[in-house]
Chain A
Amino acid sequence: MGTVRKWIIVCRTIIGVPDYDRYVRHMQVRHPGAPVMARAEFARARLEARYSRPGSRCC
Chain B
Amino acid sequence: MRSARTVIIWGLIAAIGAGALGRVALSRGESINAAWLLTAAICTYLVGYRFYARFIATKIFALDDDRATPAVRKSDGHDFVPTNRWVVFGHHFAAIAGPGPLVGPTLAAQFGYLPGALWIVIGVVLGGAVQDFVILCSSVRRDGRSLGQMAKDEIGPVAGITALVAVLGIMIVLISVLALVVVNALKASPWGTVTISLTVPIAMFMGVYLRYLRPDKVLEASAMGILMLGGALWAGQWVAANPALAPLFTLTGPTLALLIMAYGFAASVLPVWLLLAPRDYLSAFVKIGVVVALAVGILVVLPPLSMPAVTQFVDGTGPVFSGKVFPFVFITIACGAISGFHALIASGTTPKLLARETDAKLIGYGAMLTESLVAIMALIAACVLTPGVYFAINAPVAALGTTAESAALAVQQWGFVLQPGEMDALARSVGESSLLSRTGGAPSLAVGMAHLFDRALGGGGMALWYHFAIMFEALFILTTLDAGTRVGRFMLQDLGGQLWPRFREVTWQPAVWMASAIFVALWGYFLYQGVTDPLGGINSLWPLFGMANQLLAAVALCVGTTVIIRMGKARYAWATLLPLCWLLVVVLTAGWQKLFSADPRIGFLAHADRFSALHAAGTLPPGVPSLDALPRMVFNDRLDAAVAAFFLVSVLVIVVESVRVWLGVLAGRRPTASTEVPAQSVTLFAAD
Contact = CB atoms under 8 A, between A and B. Distances in A.
Contact of B77 (A10, A26, A50): A26
B118 interface: no
A59 B478 CA distance: 11
A15 B342 contact: no
A2 to B, nearest CB: 15
Nearest to A59: B100
Nearest to A24: B77
Interface in B158-172: none
A39 B87 contact: no
Contact of A58 (B215, B345, B688): B345
A38 B133 CA distance: 37
B341 A55 contact: no
A18 B97 contact: no
Contact of B219 (A11, A23, A27, A42): A11
A55 B349 contact: yes
Nearest to A46: B78
A43 B688 contact: no
Given A10-B87, A14-B90, A22-B77, A58 B95 contact: yes
Nearest to A25: B688
A16 B88 CA distance: 10
A11 to B, nearest CB: 6
A54 B490 contact: yes
B417 interface: no
Contacts of A20: 216
Interface string A44-59: 1011111110111111
Nearest to A7: B219
Interface in B670-685: none
Binding site of B, secondary structure by majority: helix, strand, loop or mixed? helix
A29 B688 contact: yes
A12 B349 CA distance: 14
A14 B95 CA distance: 9
A37 to B, nearest CB: 10
B487 A56 contact: yes
A46 B76 CA distance: 12
B646 interface: no
Contacts of B96: 58
B276 interface: yes
Interface residues of A, number: 36
Given A15-B285, A16-B91, A55 B339 contact: no
A22 B216 CA distance: 14
Contact of A59 (B99, B216, B281): B99
B40 to A, nearest CB: 25
B280 A47 contact: no
Contacts of B345: 56, 58
Contact of B272 (A18, A47, A59): A47
Nearest to B91: A14
Nearest to B494: A54
A29 to B, nearest CB: 6
B365 to A, nearest CB: 16
B480 A59 contact: yes
Contacts of A46: 78
Contacts of B480: 57-59
Contact of B335 (A13, A14, A42, A59): A59
A50 B216 CA distance: 15
Binding site of A, secondary structure by majority: helix, strand, loop or mixed? helix
Interface in B272-296: 272-273, 276-277, 280-281, 284-285, 288
Contacts of B222: 15
Contacts of A57: 95, 98, 341, 479-480, 483-484, 487
Interface residues of B, number: 60
A46 B215 CA distance: 12
Nearest to B88: A13
A9 to B, nearest CB: 8
A10 B277 CA distance: 18
B344 interface: yes
Contact of A26 (B216, B219, B334, B688): B688
Contacts of A23: 77-78
Contact of B83 (A13, A40, A47, A51): A13
B279 to A, nearest CB: 11
Contacts of A29: 686, 688
A53 to B, nearest CB: 8
Interface string B145-178: 0000000000000000000000000000010001
A51 B284 contact: no
Contacts of A51: 272, 276-277, 486
Contacts of A49: 78-79
A59 B178 contact: yes
A24 B517 CA distance: 40
B90 A56 contact: no
Contacts of B348: 55-56
A11 B223 CA distance: 12
Contact of A22 (B81, B215, B272): B81
Interface in B468-512: 479-480, 483-484, 486-487, 490-491, 494, 506
A59 B339 contact: yes
A23 B688 CA distance: 9
Contacts of B250: none
A37 B193 CA distance: 42
Given A15-B285, A16-B349, A56 B344 contact: yes
B83 A16 contact: no
Contacts of B349: 16, 55
B94 interface: yes
Nearest to B93: A14
B75 interface: yes
A23 B353 CA distance: 14
B91 A13 contact: yes
B139 interface: no
Nearest to A20: B216
Contacts of B341: 56-59
Contacts of A11: 219, 285
In this complex, which of B77, B353, B480, B490 has the most chain A Cβ atoms within 10 angstroms of its Cβ? B77
Interface of A: 8, 10-18, 20, 22-23, 25-27, 29-30, 39-40, 42-44, 46-52, 54-59
What are the 5 closest A-B residue pairs judged by CB atoms, nearest first? A26-B77, A59-B100, A56-B344, A40-B215, A54-B490
5 contacts: A15-B284, A44-B273, A48-B272, A54-B494, A58-B100
Interface of B: 75-79, 81, 83-84, 87-88, 90-91, 94-100, 174, 178, 210, 215-216, 218-219, 222, 272-273, 276-277, 280-281, 284-285, 288, 334-335, 339, 341-342, 344-345, 348-349, 353, 479-480, 483-484, 486-487, 490-491, 494, 506, 545, 549, 686, 688
Given A54-B487, A54-B490, A59-B339, 5 more contacts: A44-B273, A47-B277, A58-B98, A59-B545, A59-B549
